[in-house]
Structure 1
Amino acid sequence: MFYSMTGYGTGQAISKKMEVLCEIKSVNNRFVDISFRGYSLPNDFEEYIKIQLKKKFLRGSFEVKIHDNFQSEHSYELNQESIRNLKSTLKASKDFKNLNLKLSDLRDIPGLLTVRSSKKDISPLGKKALNIAIKNLVESRAKEGQKIEKIIIAKTLFLKNAHQKLSRSAPSLLKHRVKTIKNKFIQKYIDINKDEIANELSNVALKHDIAEELERISFHIESLNKLFKLKNAHGKKMDFILQELFREVNTLSVKIEKPDLKDLALTMKLKVEELREQAQNLE
């Protein structure tokens, strides 16, 4: 089973006085990369989130956002000593006659009014919301993975059928090449003996023999099919197999000269490139 690296999951946890919502978005990345948006979280809670995500996912870029509906509580404290000093100073000044001070008069004077804000610890509810969001994210990535898997299976089947056709046609390819060379000799009136012809044809057979490439392609296709049966298939492993497959198909397309079969080999090359693009999206 394949999992896409692209997905989205939300989780919600509610108590009597507070509600916490966790959102996680994930996209492609070679490694696990985690960033936070919105509410500033305590360091220990951030670390908990990172540990949970790394436990569950092999790679991907994750954006985590935590919301809550709790309103901050504020407390106020007046510095009585500073206020007495202010009044004393104002009384001694000839420029101030009215000493009826208002809150608006005090708030902008440093040290007179202290405002403290308190924020409830959302970690307990946040962890519950996080676990739900991770569960939903896994399901989301699995659904996307299923779509990619169907595409990969279809393209792999094409490669398998094309490989079978080329394997059946391999003997005729060599005959086609030998015939072409003989015709060139005749057209150019080249006078060479049978041993030289045999030697030339032997070199051609070695240079244009595709048996080894076909064998390796068969092995790589079989390796891909084995990945489909694994409980947790890895995109990295698939990408490696496809790199090797691409190399063999590329060599194959160079060796083949018969137009219809060369076109088939080039189409195989294109399909492998498309498979590699899909593999980039897999975990």
Structure 2
Amino acid sequence: MSQLSGMTGFARAEAAGAPGTASAEARSVNGKGLDLRVRLPAGFDRLETEIKARAKARFVRGSLSVNINFVEAERGGALQIDHQHLRALAEAGRALVEAGLADKPRVDGLLALKGVLTTPEADADDARQAEIEALMLEAANEALAGLQLARREEGEAMARLLNAHIGEIEHLRDAAAAHAATQPEAIRDRIAAKFEELLPQGLDADKLAQEAASLAVRADVREELDRLSAHIDSARKLLAAGSPAGRKLDFLSQEFNREANTLCSKSSDRELTDLGLAMKAAVDQMREQVQNVE
């Protein structure tokens, strides 16, 4: 049996390495389709396509957001002076100094120039960037897996509720069928009683049978009851098949409601009407839960 999945959930994950720690938060709420939003630190936007692809591999519906952050580790290693770069800068400024257009450079000023002071890690920026990206993807993947688990746990709870609602609808359908079976005779008795009240001299038996038959045809709900049975079977098969099933279950709930409305409109007595109204209430409860099924 496949598993039903909901559309709301939250998960958080971290991945740590030498460059620092990447963290990812993934959350989702109801959505008609699959709406994905990814937030990444500046300079890592190219990961968005990969993260969205991984989300699409796990989810079909829902409004999802994935937020990625990265905290750098302290970069160790003694500072080093790039003497070649320093000499090139000094030579470039010599002409300005000799022409009186600039003061002689100070040591602290030279050391503050970009690229003069370096650390051993500075020569491996490309490799470090790749490692950070790998950590971000690892954290994102774990967060998406956690979100998928949370949505499945919600789906498991919803499956129990939906099965209970379907069971209630089936119970009311069976009660309506048992009651509808007695309707033709009840209609005939009501017509006979009414005409006896209005026409004490009596009513022609053929006329009574004709009127009773006409009302019974208009009040016949066997087609609605048969369709309800088919919808109940379909709903249970969808639940057993698992997600994605939300759209089909929503359509079925509309069909359930249509049959319950017809049952009420065709009803010729209070008890059958009450059964139809109770069925409408059960269908409304079912449809409310279905809105969150993937």
Task: Give the TM-score normalised by structure 1.
Answer: 0.80
Q: What amino acid is aligned across from residue 145 of structure 1 in structure 2?
A: G
Over 3 Å counting, the alpha-carbon distance change for 1:131 and 1:48 in structure 2 is same
Equivalences for 1:93-112 in 2 at 5 Å?
A: none
The question of whether the paired residues in 1 share the 8 Å contact of 2:7 and 2:151 is answered with: yes
CA root-mean-square deviation: 3.5
Shift of 1:124: 1.2
Q: Which residue of 2 aligns with 1:261?
A: 272
Task: Report Cα offsets for 1:37-82 as digits up to 9, x if no partner.
Answer: 3624634310111111111111100011001102799xxx999879
Question: Which region of structure 1 is more displaced relative to structure 2, 61-70 or 229-238?
Answer: 229-238
Which stretches in structure 1 are left out of the alignment for 5+ residues? 92-98, 103-112
Q: Which residue of 2 aligns with 1:96?
A: none
Aligned counterpart for 2:239 among listed residues 210, 228, 244? 228
The question of whether the paired residues in 2 share the 8 Å contact of 1:173 and 1:256 is answered with: no
Equivalences for 1:13-92 in 2 at 5 Å?
A: 13-37=15-39, 39-40=41-42, 42-70=44-72
Give the share of equivalent positions with the same residue, in percent: 30
Q: Which residue of 2 aligns with 1:105?
A: none
Q: Which residue of 1 aligns with 2:143?
A: 133
Q: In 2, distance between residues paired with 1:261 and 1:67?
A: 60
Q: Which residue of 2 aligns with 1:166?
A: 176
The answer to whether the aligner puts 1:149 opposite 2:159 as a matched pair is yes
Q: In 2, distance between residues paired with 1:88 and 1:57?
A: 69
The answer to whether the aligner puts 1:181 opposite 2:191 as a matched pair is yes
The question of whether the paired residues in 2 share the 8 Å contact of 1:4 and 1:281 is answered with: yes
Q: In 2, distance between residues paired with 1:249 and 1:89?
A: 97
Task: Report Cα offsets for 1:259-282 as digits up to 9, x if no partner.
Answer: 233212201111101111111100
Over 3 Å counting, the alpha-carbon distance change for 1:40 and 1:252 in structure 2 is farther
The question of whether the paired residues in 2 share the 8 Å contact of 1:33 and 1:60 is answered with: yes
Shift of 1:5: 0.3
The answer to whether the aligner puts 1:11 opposite 2:16 as a matched pair is no
The question of whether the paired residues in 1 share the 8 Å contact of 2:15 and 2:135 is answered with: yes
Over 3 Å counting, the alpha-carbon distance change for 1:87 and 1:20 in structure 2 is farther
Equivalences for 1:233-244 in 2 at 5 Å?
A: 233-244=244-255
Over 3 Å counting, the alpha-carbon distance change for 1:141 and 1:209 in structure 2 is same
Shift of 1:88: 8.0
The question of whether the paired residues in 1 share the 8 Å contact of 2:196 and 2:203 is answered with: no
Q: What amino acid is aligned across from residue 169 of structure 1 in structure 2?
A: H
Q: In 2, distance between residues paired with 1:100 and 1:174?
A: 114
Aligned residues: 268
Q: What amino acid is aligned across from residue 142 of structure 1 in structure 2?
A: R
The answer to whether the aligner puts 1:281 opposite 2:283 as a matched pair is no
Task: Give the TM-score normalised by structure 2.
Answer: 0.78
Q: Which residue of 2 aligns with 1:108?
A: none
Q: In 1, distance between residues paired with 2:93 and 2:219?
A: 97
Q: In 2, distance between residues paired with 1:85 and 1:72?
A: 39
Q: In 2, distance between residues paired with 1:186 and 1:36?
A: 77
Q: Which residue of 2 aligns with 1:202?
A: 213
Q: Which residue of 1 aligns with 2:120?
A: none
The question of whether the paired residues in 1 share the 8 Å contact of 2:169 and 2:279 is answered with: yes
The question of whether the paired residues in 1 share the 8 Å contact of 2:243 and 2:293 is answered with: no
Q: In 1, distance between residues paired with 2:197 and 2:93?
A: 113
Which stretches in structure 2 are left out of the alignment for 5+ residues? 76-84, 107-112, 116-124
